[in-house]
Amino acid sequence: MRIIDDVNAARSTVLRRKPFEEAELSPMGKQRVRETFGEDLTADQVVDRIIAYVRQSGDEALRDLSLRIDGARIGSFEVSRDEIAAASAEVDEALLSALKTAAGRIRDFHLKQRVQGWVDFSEGALGQIVRPLARVGLYVPGGTAAYPSTVLMTAIPAKVAGVEEVVLTTPPKADGKVPASILVAADLAGVDRVFRLGGAQAVAALAYGTESVPRVDKILGPGNIFVVLAKRKVFGVVGIDALPGPTETLIIADDSADPALCAADMLAQAEHDPLASALLITTSRDFARLVDEEVERQLVDLPRREIARQSLDRQGAIVVAASIDEAIQLANEYGPEHLCLTVREGPSYLGKVRNAGGIFLGESSSEALGDYAAGPSHVMPTGGTARFSSPLNLADFVKVISLVAVNEEIMRRAGPAAAAIAKAEGLTAHARALEMRLAKAVSGKETQS
C-alpha cells in the first residue's frame, strides 16, 4: 500500500475530493450498460432513460428493467406478509438474536433524538409544530450481498419518528426472491411494505408511483451510482436524505495504537467495494510500515480479498503527518464518513474535529461495530458532504410547521415594520393587508380606552 510522507502530495492525490459528476463506470459496468441498452451510455444517460421509461410505462417498465438488469422475472412486486412471516424459519437463531440485539440498541439511541415542537404564548402564539412524514421509501442495496443492517439503520429511526407508512425496496435475487435476512430485519423494524425492486427504477417508482408501487414523500438510503444519480434527479418531486457514495474510513493513529487492529479496520472498510476508501494518517513512519505489513498478512485469507485489494490499490494509502493536529486538519479538509481516533489522550482532540459523519474514539470503538450494533444509524455522509450534512437521524423523517397566531398588541408593535418593508419591496397589497389590520387594532385600542 502507498505510504505518503508529503502531506501536500497526499492532498493532491488520495485526499483530493473529485466532483460527484466525475464518477465513471468501471469497465465491467460499461459492458453491462452496453449489454442492457444496446449502446454505450454514461451513468447519467442510463438514469435519465430509466426514469423516463418508468414514468411512461409504470409496472411494465419495472418488469422489463428487472429482467434486463437484475435477471429476475417478477410476478408480484410486493412481498406478501406470508413471505415475510416465513422468512424467520430460513434465518439461523444466532443471526436472529444478533438482529434483535442491534435493533434494540438502534431504537434506544434514536429515541433520544426526538425533535420537539414548542409554542411561546407571550406574544399570542409563536412556535413550531413537528409532524412526521406520511410515507417514506427506503432503499436497501443488494446484489453481491444482503444488508439487513441497513434495513434496521433506516427503518427503525423512521418508525421512532412516527412515520405512518414505511416502504422498502431492495433488488431481488435472480429467482425473484428477497433474501430472508432482509425480510426478517424488515419485520423487526416495523416496515409496512416491501418491494422486490432495485436500481434507478426503484427510485423512479417511489418518486412517481406506478400501478403497484406507492408514491412516497421522501426517499432515503444508500445505493450504487445509478441509485444516487436517480435520487438527485427526482429531488424536488420528493425529498431525499443525501447522495451517499462509496463508503470511506479515515483513521488517525499514533504509535500507541495496535498496528494489527488498525490494519483490520482498514481491511474491514476495503472489503465493502472496489470504490471504498480506507485511509490512515499517522505521526510515525515506523507505525505506517507495521500497518502496511499487517494489511498484507491479513489480506491473504480474506474471502473478499480481491475486492479489498482493488480498493486499497486505487484509494487506499497511509499518510505520515508531522503531528496529530496536522492529521486532524487533513481530516477536516477531507470530511470523512467515518473518522477513527486511536491516539493518546484521544478525548482532548474531539473539540478540534469539525467535519466527520461519525467519530469512533479509542481502539475499542471499531467502525465495524458502528456498522451494525453501536446505536447510531450507519447511513452517514460521504464524498466530503460531512462538511454540511449529518448522519441519518430522526430529523430526516419529520418536518417542521411554523405557527403564527399573534394578538393585536403584537400587530401594533410589529405591523408597522412589516408594512414599511413591504412598501420598500414594491408589494403594496402586502402593505395594505397589514395597514388594514393596524387600523383595526388601533381602533380597538381606542374604543377600549
Please tell me whether residue 301 adopts helix, strand or coil conformation: coil
- Amino acid (one-letter) located at 213: V
150 — phi, psi (to 5°)?
-70, -30
175: buried, middle or exposed (CB in 10 Å: 19+, 13-18, 0-12)?
exposed
314 — phi, psi (to 5°)?
-90, -45
Distance of CA 316 to the CA centre of its chain: 22
Q: Among the options 110, 248, 272, 338, which is catalytic?
A: 338
Active-site residue 446, yes or no?
A: no
Report whether 369 contacts 227 (CB < 8 A): no
> Computed from CA positions of residues 190, 193, 194, 197, in that sequence, does the dihedral angle turn out positive or negative?
negative
| DSSP output for 124-149 | S-EEEEEEE-SEEEEE---SSS--HH
Beta pairing, strands 239-240 & 218-220: parallel
Instruction: Name residue 279's beta-bridge partners.
Output: 250, 317
The arrangement of strands across the sheet holding 239-240 comes to: 193-196, 165-170, 135-139, 218-220, 239-240
Q: Among the options 294, 337, 363, 367, which is catalytic?
A: 337
- Which three cell numbers mark 211? 400501478
Kind and range of the H or E run holding 208? helix 199-208
Distance of CA 329 to the CA centre of its chain: 24
As separate numbers, helices (DSSP H) first and strands (DSSP E) second, the chain gives 17, 14
Please tell me whether residue 15 adopts helix, strand or coil conformation: coil
Please tell me whether residue 165 adopts helix, strand or coil conformation: strand
Angle (deg, nearest 10), helices 259-270 and 305-314: 100
- Which three cell numbers mark 58? 409504470
Active-site residue 338, yes or no?
A: yes
Report whether 190 contacts 184 (CB < 8 A): no
> Computed from CA positions of residues 252, 257, 260, 265, in that sequence, does the dihedral angle turn out positive or negative?
negative
CA distance 69 to 236: 27
Please tell me whether residue 383 adopts helix, strand or coil conformation: coil
The residues assigned a catalytic role are 337-338
